[in-house]
Amino acid sequence: PSLEHEVARREVERVSEEFWMYIRAELTQIKEQASDPDLVRKVNNILEISADIHKKLKNDQSKLANMVDGTGKWRKKEAQRLTDLVQRRLEHLQNPPDCNTAKKMFCNLGKGCGYGCQLHHVTYCLIMAYATQRTLILQSEGWRYASKGWESVFLPLSKTCRTTGGQTTSRWGPNSMTDDAQIIELPIVDSLSPRPRFLPLAIPEDLADRLTHVHGDPSAWWVGQFVTYLTRPNAMLEQFLDEAKQKLGFTNPIVGVHVRRTDKVGMEAQFHSVDEYMRYANEWFDIYEKQHPGVQRRVYLASDDPGVLHEAKKNYPNYIFVSDNEVSKTASLGSRYTDASLRGVILDTYLLSRCNYLVCTFSSQVCRVAYELMQPLHGDASEWFKSLDDIFYFGGQNAHNWLAVEDHQSRREGEISFNAGDTVGVAGNHWDGYSKGRNAKTGKSGLFPSYKTVNKIDRVKMPTYPEVTD
C-alpha cells in the first residue's frame, strides 16, 4: 500500500476512536444529569449498542489493515529494517576508531529524579549526540539507583570510547553546532540554550517518509530507538529478566496496566481508580475475543502502590494478574534508590513494553518509557495504548503542533475557532472528542474538536550516517 493509503487508513482509525469517545462522553453526561429513569434507561441502551458497534469497527479495521496479502508482514519487516538501521547508526556513532581524537558529548546521569526521568535525561543526551555526530560519554558513577553506575545493569554505551580524556571542553552554547572543541558538556534539557530544532518530537528528514509509511507515531518510535539502545541489558540483567518472565508466568496475549500512585498523586497527576484502567483492559479483550474466542484474560500489573494488586484480584476474578508485587513494595517504602528497586522498575518497563496493549497515565515517565520501548519491537504499536491523562510527550520537547484540516467555528464559551491550515499548539486531549490548544494565528487558547486537526511532525535535517548501509 502507498504512503497515502497508509496515512488515510490510520486516519480512519483515529477518527472513529475520537467519534466513539465523543459519543460516550456526551451520553454519559446526559445520563448523569437526567432525573427521568426512562431517559436513563434509553441512554444506557444507546451507550451499550454504541460500545458494541465501536468494538466491531475496531475489529473490522484491524482485519482490513492486514487483508491485502502480506501487508501486515511488509509493515513489520520494513519497521524492523528501519530499527536495525538506526541501531547500527548508534553503534557506529558510539564506537569511534580512535577515542583520543573523537568528538564527544558529555552527559552526567545525576539528575535528581526517578528512573524514568533519568533515563529520559540520557535519551535527550544521546539524541543531541546523534544530531551533532559526537560520541556520548556518560558519567554515571554514584548513580542513586546503583552506585557502580550504568554498567551494573546495561551494556556500556561504547566498546571503544568511554572516557572524556580530551584536550578542549566547552559547554553547549550558540556556537556548538560548529564548535571544534573536542568535548561539549550538556546541561539538563530544561537549561539547554539555544534549543536546537532536532529535539523531540522532531524526526530525521532522511527517514521521515519511510517511517511515516509504516508507523502511526514516528516521534515516539524515534525516541524509542534511543531508549532501546541505552537499555540494552548486560548479561546479568538479561538473565534476571528472562528468569523473572518465566517465574512470573508472563505470556501473551496480555494487557499491561501501570498504576502510578504514591508521591505522584495530587502533586503531578490525578488519582485514577483500578476500574478506570480495567475498563480499557476489558475493552481490548472484548475486541481480541472476536477473533480468539475463549481467550484467557491476563493483565501484567505494575504499580508503586502494593494495594492495587489486591484490589484488582478481588474485583476481577476472571483475570489472571501477573505482577512483581515484591518489587513494587520496595519501590513504595521509601527505599526507592536501591539495586532491587532498580531491577524492579527495569523489569516492569521491560514487561509492560512486551504487552499487547498498555493502559496507563502518560504523565508518568515509567509509562512513557514502556510505550517508547514498545515501538521498535512490534512494527506499528502506536495505537496499542490508552493513556488516562496526557497525550504522548517528551520532557523538554519543542512545541507540539497540530494542523487544522477543517474550519471550525467556536460553538460555546471556552472553545476556539480556526481555519483549515492554521497551526494549533496542542496542550492535551480530553479524550471526549475535544482537545485543548492554542491557535497560533489568533493567540486564543481553548477547546476544539480533535477530529478537525492532524498531528504535525517536524522533519529536521540530521546527519545521515552514509557509512552505515541499509
When asked if residue 260 is in the footprint of ligand GDP (CB under 6 A), the reply is yes
When asked if residue 364 is in the footprint of ligand GDP (CB under 6 A), the reply is yes
Query: What does the alpha-carbon distance between residue 364 and residue 9 come to, in Å, rounded to a whole number?
Result: 30
- CB-wise, 223 or 302, nearer to ligand GDP? 302
Query: What does the alpha-carbon distance between residue 4 and residue 26 come to, in Å, rounded to a whole number?
Result: 33
Q: From the CB of 374, what's the least distance to ligand GDP, in Å?
A: 15
When asked if residue 389 is in the footprint of ligand GDP (CB under 6 A), the reply is no
- CB-wise, 115 or 451, nearer to ligand GDP? 115
Determine which residue in the list 304, 372, 380, 458 makes contact with ligand GDP, applying CB under 6 A: 304
Q: From the CB of 244, what's the least distance to ligand GDP, in Å?
A: 12
- CB-wise, 283 or 348, nearer to ligand GDP? 348
- CB-wise, 192 or 269, nearer to ligand GDP? 269
When asked if residue 354 is in the footprint of ligand GDP (CB under 6 A), the reply is no
When asked if residue 345 is in the footprint of ligand GDP (CB under 6 A), the reply is yes
Closest to 124 in 3D by CA, of 234, 268, 264, 230: 230
Q: From the CB of 211, what's the least distance to ligand GDP, in Å?
A: 27
Parallel, antiparallel or unpaired: strands 434-439 and 423-429: antiparallel
User: Tell me, what DSSP letter sits at residue 470?
Assistant: -
Determine which residue in the list 40, 47, 117, 181 makes contact with ligand GDP, applying CB under 6 A: 117
Closest to 106 in 3D by CA, of 175, 180, 177, 188: 188
- CB-wise, 65 or 119, nearer to ligand GDP? 119
- CB-wise, 258 or 452, nearer to ligand GDP? 258
When asked if residue 328 is in the footprint of ligand GDP (CB under 6 A), the reply is yes
Closest to 192 in 3D by CA, of 456, 400, 395: 395
When asked if residue 211 is in the footprint of ligand GDP (CB under 6 A), the reply is no
Q: Looking only at residues 425 through 464 of this chain, which bind ligand GDP when binding is defined by CB under 6 A?
A: none
When asked if residue 336 is in the footprint of ligand GDP (CB under 6 A), the reply is yes
What is the CA 67 to chain-centroid distance, rounded? 28
When asked if residue 264 is in the footprint of ligand GDP (CB under 6 A), the reply is yes
Which contacts qualify for 294-299: CB closer than 8 Å, 24 or more apart? 295/253, 296/320, 297/255, 298/251, 298/253, 298/254, 298/255, 298/322, 299/254, 299/255, 299/256, 299/257
When asked if residue 114 is in the footprint of ligand GDP (CB under 6 A), the reply is yes
Q: How many residues bind ligand GDP, per CB under 6 A?
A: 22
Q: Quick check: 381 and 352 in contact, CB under 8 A?
A: no
β-sheet with 385-387: strand ranges across: 319-322, 297-303, 255-259, 357-360, 385-387
Closest to 14 in 3D by CA, of 423, 449, 459: 449
When asked if residue 250 is in the footprint of ligand GDP (CB under 6 A), the reply is no
- CB-wise, 23 or 146, nearer to ligand GDP? 146
User: CA-CA distances (angstroms) from residue 297 to 9, 15, 91, 256, 354?
Assistant: 29, 28, 39, 11, 16
Q: From the CB of 298, what's the least distance to ligand GDP, in Å?
A: 17
When asked if residue 135 is in the footprint of ligand GDP (CB under 6 A), the reply is no
Piece of 156-164, 217-225, 327-335, 374-382 that binds ligand GDP (CB under 6 A): 327-335
Query: What does the alpha-carbon distance between residue 158 and residue 228 come to, in Å, rounded to a whole number?
Result: 14
Q: Looking only at residues 284 through 303 of this chain, which bind ligand GDP when binding is defined by CB under 6 A?
A: 302-303
- CB-wise, 116 or 379, nearer to ligand GDP? 116
* Residue at 63: amino acid letter: K
Phi, psi of 460, rounded to the nearest 5 degrees: -120, 140
Q: From the CB of 345, what's the least distance to ligand GDP, in Å?
A: 4
When asked if residue 115 is in the footprint of ligand GDP (CB under 6 A), the reply is yes
Using N-to-C axis directions, what is the helix angle for 115-132 and 71-94, rounded to 10°? 80
User: Tell me, what DSSP letter sits at residue 39?
Assistant: H
Phi, psi of 255, rounded to the nearest 5 degrees: -100, 130
Which parts of this chain interact with ligand GDP (CB under 6 A)?
113-117, 258, 260, 264, 302-304, 327-328, 331, 336, 341, 344-345, 348, 364-366
